[in-house]
Amino acid sequence: QRKALAKLAAKDTMSNDGKKTLLAANISSDSEVEFAIQHGAEGIGLFRTEFLYMKTDKLPTEEEQFDIYKHVLDLMGDRPVTIRTADIGGDKPVPYLKAPKQDNPFLGYRAIRLSLDREDIFRTQLRALIRASAFGKLSIMFPMIATIEEFRQAKTVFNEELAKVQADKLPVGDIKLGIMVEVPATVILADQFASEVDFMSIGTNDLIQYTMAADRGNEKVAYLYQPYNPAVLRMIKMVIEACHNNSILACMCGEMAGDQLAIPILLGMGLDEYSMSSRQILPSRSLISTLDSDKMVALANRTLSFYSTSNDVIKDVK
């Protein structure tokens, strides 16, 4: 069976009825890229760069970051690479930044909020990314976007750094700018966001916890952390529809994208790109090759009409 899967490593991802999707890898370090390619990654859908800030006791310099981003892009060649700006805070503390202690870190000073507040750190990262863009197919993604102003502000800072790099006569690639959809407010305004961004990537790990108001790490309320709750599924559907109405890619990089039970539903909803841990890629490609997208549309629609997380969904999919 492993051999049969290995054969899929160099293949496109195609449903039984010929609908093409893209399976990408989530990584936290450039050292994971080769493993991702061996496991059939058609792109990198999420590079969690905060680990560059967490593994030492000081901020990574522009040169250090440039080398790492360039390395990832070089290895991926003409395959798309989405790098997320630092998602610091919440469950990923960086002690040397000395952020104030917070009662609710998941609702606090984290991710894009910290980047827009600490523009010095943000600009260094953007500059490293912009310089690296000459070496591959780069998309930059901002985490935890909750308002359109946050995206506009991030884009303004990006454009300023882009202009500086260009003024220095350094080569730059054609960079796409997108957001992670992790906050319910952003789902509700997805159609507005979709008219301004180049792509959206649904971060279900956070989106589920914020939708259900259940801390993703708290065992006592784990029963409320429900990926198949129709409220969550409807949100995912809203985002995908908003993307397609605006002709942009609908991506997902939360755990749900690599979940064998969720994939049929997501395929039925029309999700374009699935980013997951590398080990999940070949089994997911194999699964998708057995599914008919038309039938999955009916399945997806049925799940949206449920009143609660129903075992029927799961049975149906199986």
Q: Under the rule (CB under 6 A), what is the footprint of ligand PEP?
A: 46, 48, 87, 182, 203-206, 253-254
One-letter amino acid of 108: G
Residue 206, marked binder? yes
Of 25 and 162, the one with the shorter C-beta distance to ligand PEP is 25
Residue nearest to Mg ion (CB): 206
Task: Quote the radius of gyration of the chain (alpha carbons, Å).
Answer: 19
Residues 187-226 that bind Mg ion (CB under 5 A): 203, 206
Binding of Mg ion by 258 (CB under 5 A): no
Our CB check for ligand PEP shows the closer of 8 and 258 to be: 258
152 annotated as belonging to a binding site for a ligand:
no
Q: Tell me: is residue 205 an annotated ligand-binding position.
A: yes
**Binding partner of 42, given Mg ion, ligand PEP, none, CB within 5-8 angstroms per partner class:** none
Q: What is the dihedral of CA 270, 234, 199, 138, to 10 degrees?
A: -80
Q: How far apart are CA 24 and CA 257, in angstroms?
A: 10
Instruction: Find out whether 20 and 263 touch, Cβ atoms under 8 Å.
Output: no
Q: Can you read off the two tokens belonging to residue 2? A: 């492993």
How far is residue 64 from each of residues 26, 28, 123, 210, measured CA to CA in Å? 21, 15, 14, 34
Return the number of the residue (40 or 203) whose C-beta is nearest ligand PEP: 203
- Give the residue numbers marked as catalytic: 253
| Residue 257: CB minimum distance to ligand PEP, A | 9
Whichever of 171 and 217 has its CB closer to ligand PEP, that residue is 217
Q: Which is nearer to Mg ion, 206 or 255 (CB)?
A: 206
45 binds, among ligand PEP, Mg ion, none (CB under 5 to 8 A by kind): none
Closest CB 48 distance from ligand PEP, rounded Å? 5
CB of 52 to ligand PEP, least distance (A): 14
Residue 220 neighbours by CB under 8 Å, 6+ apart? none
- Environment class of 117 (CB within 10 Å of its CB; exposed 0-12, middle 13-18, buried 19+): exposed
To the question of whether residue 216 is assigned a binding role by annotation, the answer is yes
- Rounded CA-CA distance 159/194 in Å is 19
Q: What is the dihedral of CA 256, 257, 258, 263, to 10 degrees?
A: 90
CB atoms within 10 A of CB 174: 8
Q: How far is the CB of 164 from Mg ion (least distance, A)?
A: 29
Question: Which amino acid would we find at residue 275?
Answer: S
Least Å distance, CB 163 to ligand PEP, is 30
The CA distance from 111 to 120, in Å, is 14
259, interface contact from Mg ion, ligand PEP, none, CB < 5-8 Å by kind: none
The amino acid present at 13, given as its one-letter code, is: T
Asked if residue 90 binds Mg ion (CB under 5 A), the reply is: no
Annotated binding site: 48, 84, 182, 205-206, 216
* Residues in contact with Mg ion by the rule CB under 5 A: 203, 206
**Known binding-site residue numbers for Mg(2+):** 182, 206
